[in-house]
Chain A
Amino acid sequence: GQQLNQSPQSMFIQEGEDVSMNCTSSSIFNTWLWYKQDPGEGPVLLIALYKAGELTSNGRLTAQFGITRKDSFLNISASIPSDVGIYFCAEHNAGNMLTFGGGTRLMVKP
Protein backbone atom coordinates (compact mmCIF):
# COMPACT_ATOMS: atom_id res chain seq x y z
CA GLY A 1 0.00 0.00 0.00
CA GLN A 2 0.96 3.60 -0.23
CA GLN A 3 3.25 5.06 2.39
CA LEU A 4 3.54 8.55 3.77
CA ASN A 5 6.89 9.53 5.19
CA GLN A 6 7.05 12.60 7.38
CA SER A 7 10.17 14.41 8.44
CA PRO A 8 11.48 15.34 10.82
CA GLN A 9 9.97 12.96 13.38
CA SER A 10 10.38 15.59 16.07
CA MET A 11 11.52 19.18 16.42
CA PHE A 12 12.47 21.19 19.50
CA ILE A 13 12.56 24.88 18.67
CA GLN A 14 12.69 28.26 20.35
CA GLU A 15 9.54 30.38 20.52
CA GLY A 16 9.48 32.83 17.61
CA GLU A 17 11.36 30.57 15.22
CA ASP A 18 9.92 29.41 11.91
CA VAL A 19 9.21 25.71 11.42
CA SER A 20 9.20 23.59 8.30
CA MET A 21 8.13 19.98 7.95
CA ASN A 22 7.41 17.83 4.94
CA CYS A 23 5.74 14.71 3.76
CA THR A 24 6.54 12.41 0.83
CA SER A 25 4.50 9.68 -0.75
CA SER A 26 5.33 6.56 -2.69
CA SER A 27 2.47 7.32 -5.08
CA ILE A 28 0.71 10.28 -6.66
CA PHE A 29 -1.89 12.01 -4.53
CA ASN A 30 -4.97 14.00 -5.48
CA THR A 31 -5.37 15.61 -2.05
CA TRP A 32 -2.97 16.60 0.69
CA LEU A 33 -4.32 17.35 4.15
CA TRP A 34 -2.48 18.67 7.17
CA TYR A 35 -3.79 17.94 10.67
CA LYS A 36 -2.69 18.88 14.17
CA GLN A 37 -3.28 16.68 17.20
CA ASP A 38 -3.07 18.10 20.71
CA PRO A 39 -2.47 15.77 23.67
CA GLY A 40 -5.64 13.88 24.58
CA GLU A 41 -7.51 15.10 21.52
CA GLY A 42 -8.33 13.93 18.02
CA PRO A 43 -6.70 15.44 14.91
CA VAL A 44 -7.99 18.80 13.70
CA LEU A 45 -7.74 19.82 10.05
CA LEU A 46 -5.41 22.77 9.43
CA ILE A 47 -5.12 23.01 5.65
CA ALA A 48 -6.45 21.08 2.64
CA LEU A 49 -4.69 21.11 -0.76
CA TYR A 50 -6.23 19.87 -4.00
CA LYS A 51 -4.02 20.89 -6.93
CA ALA A 52 -0.36 20.34 -7.76
CA GLY A 53 1.57 23.51 -6.99
CA GLU A 54 -1.21 24.92 -4.81
CA LEU A 55 0.03 27.15 -1.98
CA THR A 56 -2.45 27.82 0.82
CA SER A 57 -2.18 29.81 4.03
CA ASN A 58 -4.12 29.68 7.28
CA GLY A 59 -2.87 32.40 9.58
CA ARG A 60 0.77 31.64 10.41
CA LEU A 61 0.55 28.32 8.60
CA THR A 62 1.42 27.82 4.94
CA ALA A 63 1.28 24.54 3.03
CA GLN A 64 2.09 23.58 -0.53
CA PHE A 65 1.08 20.68 -2.76
CA GLY A 66 4.24 19.55 -4.57
CA ILE A 67 4.45 19.74 -8.37
CA THR A 68 5.19 16.01 -8.61
CA ARG A 69 2.04 15.34 -6.51
CA LYS A 70 4.19 13.11 -4.31
CA ASP A 71 5.12 15.61 -1.64
CA SER A 72 3.89 18.49 0.48
CA PHE A 73 5.34 20.82 3.08
CA LEU A 74 3.91 22.76 6.01
CA ASN A 75 5.54 25.90 7.36
CA ILE A 76 4.71 27.63 10.63
CA SER A 77 6.00 31.15 11.05
CA ALA A 78 6.89 32.80 14.36
CA SER A 79 6.07 29.77 16.50
CA ILE A 80 4.27 30.19 19.81
CA PRO A 81 3.86 27.77 22.74
CA SER A 82 0.37 26.68 21.64
CA ASP A 83 1.86 25.34 18.40
CA VAL A 84 3.07 22.36 20.45
CA GLY A 85 1.55 19.12 19.25
CA ILE A 86 1.83 16.45 16.58
CA TYR A 87 1.38 17.44 12.95
CA PHE A 88 0.18 14.84 10.48
CA CYS A 89 -0.03 14.88 6.73
CA ALA A 90 -2.78 12.75 5.24
CA GLU A 91 -4.40 11.82 1.98
CA HIS A 92 -8.09 11.24 1.32
CA ASN A 93 -8.48 8.54 -1.29
CA ALA A 94 -11.33 7.12 -3.31
CA GLY A 95 -11.86 4.41 -0.69
CA ASN A 96 -13.32 7.00 1.66
CA MET A 97 -10.39 6.66 3.99
CA LEU A 98 -7.69 8.96 5.29
CA THR A 99 -4.12 7.68 5.16
CA PHE A 100 -1.90 9.41 7.72
CA GLY A 101 1.83 9.85 7.94
CA GLY A 102 3.74 9.03 11.11
CA GLY A 103 3.62 12.60 12.35
CA THR A 104 6.06 15.36 13.33
CA ARG A 105 6.14 16.13 17.04
CA LEU A 106 6.74 19.83 17.65
CA MET A 107 8.01 21.13 20.95
CA VAL A 108 8.43 24.88 21.56
CA LYS A 109 10.71 26.32 24.20
CA PRO A 110 9.45 29.65 25.59
Chain B
Amino acid sequence: ETGVTQSPTHLIKTRGQQVTLRCSSQSGHNTVSWYQQALGQGPQFIFQYYREEENGRGNFPPRFSGLQFPNYSSELNVNALELDDSALYLCASSQVLTNYGYTFGSGTRLTVV
Protein backbone atom coordinates (compact mmCIF):
# COMPACT_ATOMS: atom_id res chain seq x y z
CA GLU B 1 0.00 0.00 0.00
CA THR B 2 1.54 3.29 -1.11
CA GLY B 3 1.11 6.44 0.92
CA VAL B 4 0.48 9.99 -0.26
CA THR B 5 3.17 11.38 -2.54
CA GLN B 6 3.63 15.04 -3.39
CA SER B 7 5.75 16.76 -5.99
CA PRO B 8 7.88 18.71 -6.17
CA THR B 9 9.35 18.68 -2.66
CA HIS B 10 10.68 22.22 -2.91
CA LEU B 11 10.37 25.08 -5.35
CA ILE B 12 11.07 28.76 -5.57
CA LYS B 13 8.84 31.13 -7.52
CA THR B 14 8.77 34.85 -8.16
CA ARG B 15 5.94 37.07 -7.00
CA GLY B 16 3.19 37.23 -9.65
CA GLN B 17 3.99 33.84 -11.13
CA GLN B 18 1.74 30.78 -11.15
CA VAL B 19 2.50 27.41 -9.59
CA THR B 20 1.07 23.88 -9.80
CA LEU B 21 1.59 21.34 -7.03
CA ARG B 22 0.76 17.67 -7.43
CA CYS B 23 -0.50 14.94 -5.14
CA SER B 24 -1.05 11.21 -5.58
CA SER B 25 -3.51 9.82 -3.07
CA GLN B 26 -3.07 6.68 -1.00
CA SER B 27 -4.33 3.49 -2.58
CA GLY B 28 -8.03 3.02 -1.80
CA HIS B 29 -8.64 6.69 -0.97
CA ASN B 30 -11.04 8.74 -3.10
CA THR B 31 -10.87 12.17 -1.47
CA VAL B 32 -8.03 14.69 -1.45
CA SER B 33 -7.67 17.74 0.79
CA TRP B 34 -5.08 20.50 0.60
CA TYR B 35 -3.66 22.45 3.52
CA GLN B 36 -1.32 25.43 3.79
CA GLN B 37 1.10 25.47 6.71
CA ALA B 38 2.94 28.72 7.31
CA LEU B 39 6.15 28.58 9.31
CA GLY B 40 5.46 28.06 13.01
CA GLN B 41 1.72 27.54 12.56
CA GLY B 42 -0.74 24.69 12.22
CA PRO B 43 -2.02 23.61 8.82
CA GLN B 44 -4.97 25.57 7.40
CA PHE B 45 -7.60 23.95 5.19
CA ILE B 46 -7.66 25.19 1.61
CA PHE B 47 -10.17 22.85 -0.05
CA GLN B 48 -11.20 19.24 -0.58
CA TYR B 49 -11.96 17.32 -3.77
CA TYR B 50 -14.26 14.33 -4.13
CA ARG B 51 -15.53 12.85 -7.41
CA GLU B 52 -13.48 15.45 -9.27
CA GLU B 53 -15.43 18.32 -7.73
CA GLU B 54 -14.67 20.77 -4.93
CA ASN B 55 -16.30 19.45 -1.74
CA GLY B 56 -15.61 22.18 0.78
CA ARG B 57 -13.38 25.24 0.86
CA GLY B 58 -11.59 27.20 3.54
CA ASN B 59 -10.96 30.93 3.70
CA PHE B 60 -8.68 31.20 0.66
CA PRO B 61 -9.11 33.51 -2.36
CA PRO B 62 -10.15 32.22 -5.81
CA ARG B 63 -6.59 32.37 -7.08
CA PHE B 64 -6.19 29.10 -5.19
CA SER B 65 -7.81 26.44 -7.35
CA GLY B 66 -7.62 22.71 -7.73
CA LEU B 67 -8.36 19.67 -9.80
CA GLN B 68 -8.98 16.02 -9.07
CA PHE B 69 -8.44 13.39 -11.74
CA PRO B 70 -10.24 10.07 -12.33
CA ASN B 71 -7.40 8.21 -10.60
CA TYR B 72 -8.06 10.43 -7.52
CA SER B 73 -4.77 12.32 -7.83
CA SER B 74 -5.00 16.07 -7.49
CA GLU B 75 -3.39 19.38 -8.35
CA LEU B 76 -3.29 22.65 -6.45
CA ASN B 77 -2.85 25.75 -8.59
CA VAL B 78 -2.00 29.17 -7.23
CA ASN B 79 -2.09 32.19 -9.52
CA ALA B 80 -0.56 35.63 -9.01
CA LEU B 81 1.74 34.42 -6.24
CA GLU B 82 2.27 36.70 -3.26
CA LEU B 83 5.10 36.66 -0.74
CA ASP B 84 2.65 35.43 1.95
CA ASP B 85 1.98 32.31 -0.12
CA SER B 86 5.36 31.01 1.01
CA ALA B 87 4.50 27.94 3.06
CA LEU B 88 4.47 24.16 3.24
CA TYR B 89 1.56 22.81 1.20
CA LEU B 90 0.23 19.52 2.47
CA CYS B 91 -2.00 17.07 0.67
CA ALA B 92 -4.12 14.58 2.62
CA SER B 93 -6.10 11.71 1.16
CA SER B 94 -9.00 9.87 2.77
CA GLN B 95 -12.14 7.92 2.16
CA VAL B 96 -15.20 10.11 1.83
CA LEU B 97 -17.11 10.79 5.07
CA THR B 98 -14.19 9.68 7.21
CA ASN B 99 -13.94 11.02 10.75
CA TYR B 100 -10.20 10.80 11.08
CA GLY B 101 -8.63 8.61 8.41
CA TYR B 102 -6.56 11.31 6.71
CA THR B 103 -3.10 10.35 5.43
CA PHE B 104 -0.83 13.33 4.85
CA GLY B 105 1.99 13.62 2.36
CA SER B 106 5.34 15.16 3.25
CA GLY B 107 4.40 18.40 1.57
CA THR B 108 5.79 20.83 -0.97
CA ARG B 109 7.82 23.73 0.41
CA LEU B 110 7.01 26.80 -1.71
CA THR B 111 9.12 29.93 -1.40
CA VAL B 112 7.94 33.10 -3.15
CA VAL B 113 10.59 35.77 -3.66
* A positions within 8 Å CB-CB of B: 1, 4, 31, 33, 40-45, 48, 50, 88, 90, 92, 95-103
A23 to chain B, nearest CB (A): 11
* B positions within 8 Å CB-CB of A: 4, 31, 33, 35, 40-45, 48, 55-56, 58-59, 90, 92, 99-100, 102, 104-107
Which A residues are in CB contact (< 8 Å) with B48?
96-97
Assembled-state Cα–Cα distance A6/B6 (Å): 28
A40 touches B44 (CB 8 A): no
B100 touches A102 (CB 8 A): no
B56 touches A48 (CB 8 A): no
Q: How many A-B residue pairs have CB under 8 A?
A: 58
Known contacts A42-B92, A43-B43, A102-B42: does B33 contact A97 (CB below 8 Å)? Answer: yes
Assembled-state Cα–Cα distance A99/B102 (Å): 13
Known contacts A33-B100, A100-B43: does B106 contact A95 (CB below 8 Å)? Answer: no
B43 touches A48 (CB 8 A): no
Assembled-state Cα–Cα distance A31/B42 (Å): 17
B91 to chain A, nearest CB (A): 8
Summarize A's interface: helix, strand, loop or mixed.
loop
Assembled-state Cα–Cα distance A1/B44 (Å): 12
Residue contacts A-B, CB under 8 angstroms, 10 given: A41-B106, A42-B105, A42-B107, A43-B104, A96-B33, A97-B45, A97-B48, A97-B56, A98-B43, A98-B102
Question: Which A residue's beta carbon lies closest to that of B56?
Answer: A96
Assembled-state Cα–Cα distance A19/B105 (Å): 27
Q: Which 8 A-B pairs have the closest CB atoms?
A: A42-B104, A100-B42, A97-B45, A48-B100, A96-B56, A95-B56, A100-B43, A42-B90
